[in-house]
Amino acid sequence: MRVFEKKDGGIVQIINKEKMDDWPVELPLIFIEYIKNNQLKSYDDSKLRKEMENYLDEVLNEVAIPRLIEVLDSDKEEKILEALIRLEELSKKNIEQMEPIKPYLTKLSNLKNDTIQDLLEKISDRFSKEEKRKELLKKRKLMQQKEKEFLEGKISAEEYARIRKEYLLLRG
């Protein structure tokens, strides 16, 4: 177990990444998500949380992502399908975490398997929605800034209208 010391003298122990070798391919990612979302916030110690987060990133980069890539990059359709079923589940909760495997998903679009294509489409939709959400967030910030500048007379009504139009079109 990897041991992390708490400021009150206690410890938190997390499974060694080497022990995840026998796990189903998608499980390390689920594990990372679980600890990040459920356990980290229960520890009232920022140093401890930071150290745990660093370790989880280590698990992500050294175990979770490489193992997924290995399967998605292989020609074992059955294994790919198993992994995609779990990834599709995961994409509902945290699509951002799946960013590193995105290029490998694109490659799979050549496979002539309806279930795989269906899952890929669902995941791809979520990536698109996430991208849109991020862009919208950026535009909203810009809108607020421009609104302020417009009210202060720093920009013209035309420029404000153009930005407002872009924002509304994006929001749909």
Partner 1 sequence: MAKKNKNEYDLKAARELFKEYQVKRKESKKVTLPPDTIEVDDLSRTETLNRLYEVVDNLIEMIYATGRPTLELPSRTASNIIWDEENDLLLLGKQIIKKQFHSLASVADMTRLMRVAEVVHELLTKDKHSTLRDVFYQDVEIYGEQKNSDKSIEDIASMLYTTRNATHIIASAKGLCVGRLRIRDENNIIDLEKFGSGAWAITPMLDKVDIIESDAEFILVIEKEAAMRRISEDKFWKKFPSIILTAKGAADIATRMFLKRLNKELQLPVFSLVDSDPYGHYIHSVYLRGSKRLSYESPFLATPDIKLLGVLTKDLDTYNIPKKARLDMKPMDIKRTKELLKEDFVKKNKKWEQDLKLALQLKKKAEIQALSSHGLEFLSEEYLPEKLTTGDWI
Q: Which residues bind partner 1 (CB under 8 A)?
A: 1, 3, 6, 9-15, 19, 23-24, 27, 30-31, 34-35, 38-39, 43, 86
Residue 121 CB, nearest distance to partner 1 (Å)? Answer: 24
CB nearer to partner 1: pick between 12 and 120: 12
Q: Is 10 helix (H, G, I), strand (E, B) or coil?
A: coil
Tokens standing for residue 100: 């590193």
Instruction: State phi, psi for 43 to the nearest 5 degrees.
Output: -100, 115
CA distance linking residue 56 with residue 97, whole number of Å:
12
Nearest distance, CB of residue 79 and partner 1, angstroms = 15
Q: Are 49 and 43 in contact (CB under 8 A)?
A: yes
Cβ-based nearer residue to partner 1, 5 or 131? 5
Query: Could you tell me if 105 and 124 are in contact, meaning their C-beta atoms sit under 8 angstroms apart?
Result: yes
Question: Minimum distance between the CB of residue 155 and partner 1, rounded to whole angstroms?
Answer: 52
Question: Could you tell me if 39 and 77 are in contact, meaning their C-beta atoms sit under 8 angstroms apart?
Answer: no
Q: Minimum distance from CB of 63 to partner 1 (Å)?
A: 13
CA atoms of 75 and 56, how far apart (whole Å): 29
Q: Which is nearer to partner 1, 51 or 147 (CB)?
A: 51
Nearer to partner 1, 24 or 66 (CB): 24
